[in-house]
Structure 1
Amino acid sequence: MTKKPRILITNDDGVDAPGLQVMREIAAAISDDVWVVAPAGNQSGASHRFTFGIELELDERDPRTFAVVGGSPADCVVAAFTHVCKDHRPDLVLSGVNNGQNLGDIINCSGTAAGAREGALHGALAIGMSQAADYETRREINWDNARRYGAEVVRSLLAHATGRDHYYNVNFPFCAPEDVSGIRVAGAQRFSRSPMAYYPSDNAGRFFIAIPETPTPLDPEMDFHLLHHSNAVTVTPLRLQQSDMDVVASLEGKLILG
């Protein structure tokens, strides 16, 4: 891509989230044609939900900046491609920067990943970005690595990504920028079981759905281990075509009725 791309930014933490401002900085280093269509409030864990049958509101906050009231990241991308930017559709979708890592099977519930996925379904090069956090110590998130390396990752993918049957999940490690070991292209960790679990509340009769622990074992060549133990920026290519064609071929003619 030789010309400056039209960039759409979305996220799942909400239009006012600090990570979206970091993503604005990343996008501004790539192009001056940047648009934001993001949820008005927090939509973490929304995955690829669409808000069918319920009216949504498009709130223009500033020139080229819109909040979708009540909408998910996927809703936002659809509104951008088919309404806000319909006369010149975005070339590049940047989703995030998310507050906290999106790794392994957790991608399936991630609104950040869904924003990128929906952008890819509309034909754009699409990248979800997340800044890892230290959940054990609950230290305030540090965006330095996303700021330092975000534009470089985008430029690399613009130069080398081919086709439009993929989208990309990027995570920046929780360490000092000088301690980042490099960039690794890696698969998403398949956990031994779902990481989601019942988590009791202090309020009687109430509970949360949470990720109280990471299922093990972990593959040292997959995204989770590389981010946390190698301080690498991880880039995970993900396919839009979810069918396993090898299994399709292996089962063809074997499943019968009667």
Structure 2
Amino acid sequence: MTQSPRILVTNDDGIDAPGLAVLKQIAETISDDVWVVAPGGNQSGAGHRFSFGRELTAQKRDDRSYAIDTASPADCVVYGCTHLLVDRKPDIVLSGVNNGQNLGDIVHCSGTAAGAREGAMQGALGIALSQAVDYAHTREVHWDVAGRFGAAIVRQLHAEFRPGSDIYYNVNFPLGRPEDVSGIRLVPHQRFAHSPFGYYASDNPDHFFIAIPKTPLPLDREADFEVLHRDRAITVTPLTLVQTDEAERQRLSGKLALD
């Protein structure tokens, strides 16, 4: 009998977030060896932060589920991979399902993406999953698309997984009903012309937010942002752990020297 893959589930919206329950259900259709380690509260935008120099506490929710007080998603994955599941590390680390899309340059600060990235750094197949939300109108989240197609996406990526490949994946599910999904597209992430983040005034005097006031333009028709929203396709973006720009390293070779 083939052994079920061991799956570690995390997120950045917190252990009680509905998207985590959706992701746990997705994982349990694939494996009977599913574990959850997630932040005790919302850690959206935490990126790949670690809680260096600060004690953390893991609260056992059930036999295979743990909440870690003020931990980041990366903290949770490290706890799962190097302590809780040290006897047999997870084969797959799933992060999400995030309340809202993670597209373009937002992957750099996304706690959801960081959970998958740390999973890949620990040697697992790392997959971040996010469900699109209509921020301009209702902001209501419908999980049907992620719930309907999530397991199939994970199974296929697991079947194609090459250990040691330094790759992790960012998956976004479009708005709408499952029957409205146009397909699956492998796309690059949108590189915006400038950072999408900026000052956003609060209604409270002398207060403000750092937010995304509006999407920077122009947008690449073939990148994740447009394909998710305009084409209503599930977007899959392979990302790499190796951040060295080899072409630039070669270009500068021999040009830098001490005075």
* TM-score, normalised relative to structure 2: 0.98
Q: CA deviation at 1:245?
A: 1.1
Which one is further off, 155-164 or 18-27? 155-164
Instruction: Give the aligned partner of residue 122 of structure 2.
Output: 122
Amino acid at match of 2:45: G
Q: Which residues of structure 1 form unaligned runs of 5+?
A: none
Q: Secondary structure at the match of 2:118?
A: helix
Q: Secondary structure at the match of 1:230?
A: coil
Amino acid at match of 1:224: F
Q: Secondary structure at the match of 1:96?
A: strand
Instruction: Give the aligned partner of residue 240 of structure 1.
Output: 241
Q: CA deviation at 1:247?
A: 1.1
Change (3 A) 1:139 1:47: closer
Q: Secondary structure at the match of 2:97?
A: strand
Q: CA deviation at 1:257?
A: 2.1
Q: CA deviation at 1:79?
A: 0.5
Q: CA deviation at 1:71?
A: 0.5
Q: Does 1:78 align with 2:78?
A: yes
**CA separation in 2, counterparts of 1:115 and 1:121?**
10
**Is the 2:123–2:163 contact (alpha carbons within 8 Å) kept by the matching residues of 1?**
no
Amino acid at match of 2:195: S
Instruction: Give the aligned partner of residue 28 of structure 1.
Output: 28
**Is the 2:219–2:225 contact (alpha carbons within 8 Å) kept by the matching residues of 1?**
yes
**CA separation in 2, counterparts of 1:54 and 1:66?**
18
Q: Secondary structure at the match of 2:236?
A: strand
**Is the 2:200–2:209 contact (alpha carbons within 8 Å) kept by the matching residues of 1?**
yes
Q: Secondary structure at the match of 2:230?
A: helix
Instruction: Give the aligned partner of residue 192 of structure 1.
Output: 193
Q: Secondary structure at the match of 2:94?
A: strand
Amino acid at match of 1:36: V
Q: How many residues align?
A: 257
**CA separation in 1, counterparts of 2:22 and 2:152?**
14
Q: Secondary structure at the match of 2:98?
A: strand
Q: CA deviation at 1:246?
A: 1.4
Amino acid at match of 1:211: I
Which one is further off, 179-188 or 162-171? 162-171
Q: Does 1:178 align with 2:166?
A: no
Instruction: Give the aligned partner of residue 215 of structure 1.
Output: 216
Q: CA deviation at 1:163?
A: 3.5
Instruction: Give the aligned partner of residue 105 of structure 1.
Output: 105
Amino acid at match of 1:47: G
Summarize deviations over 1:94-121 as a string: whole Å, max 9, x none: 0000000000000001000000000000
Trace 1:137-148 onto structure 2 (pairs within 5 A): 137-148=137-148
**CA separation in 1, counterparts of 2:256 and 2:163?**
34
**Is the 2:96–2:128 contact (alpha carbons within 8 Å) kept by the matching residues of 1?**
yes
**Is the 2:58–2:69 contact (alpha carbons within 8 Å) kept by the matching residues of 1?**
yes
**CA separation in 2, counterparts of 1:257 and 1:174?**
55
**Is the 2:124–2:163 contact (alpha carbons within 8 Å) kept by the matching residues of 1?**
no
Q: Which residues of structure 2 form unaligned runs of 5+?
A: none
Q: CA deviation at 1:176?
A: 1.3
Q: Secondary structure at the match of 1:190?
A: coil
Amino acid at match of 2:176: C
Summarize deviations over 1:202-230 as a string: whole Å, max 9, x none: 10000001111100100011101100000
**CA separation in 1, counterparts of 2:163 and 2:139?**
39
**CA separation in 1, counterparts of 2:113 and 2:139?**
24
Q: Does 1:166 align with 2:177?
A: no
Amino acid at match of 2:46: A
Q: CA deviation at 1:13?
A: 0.1
Instruction: Give the aligned partner of residue 89 of structure 1.
Output: 89
Amino acid at match of 1:69: D
**CA separation in 1, counterparts of 2:162 and 2:53?**
36
**CA separation in 1, counterparts of 2:24 and 2:248?**
42
Instruction: Give the aligned partner of residue 17 of structure 1.
Output: 17
What is the RMSD of the two structures over their aligned residues, measured on CA atoms? 0.8
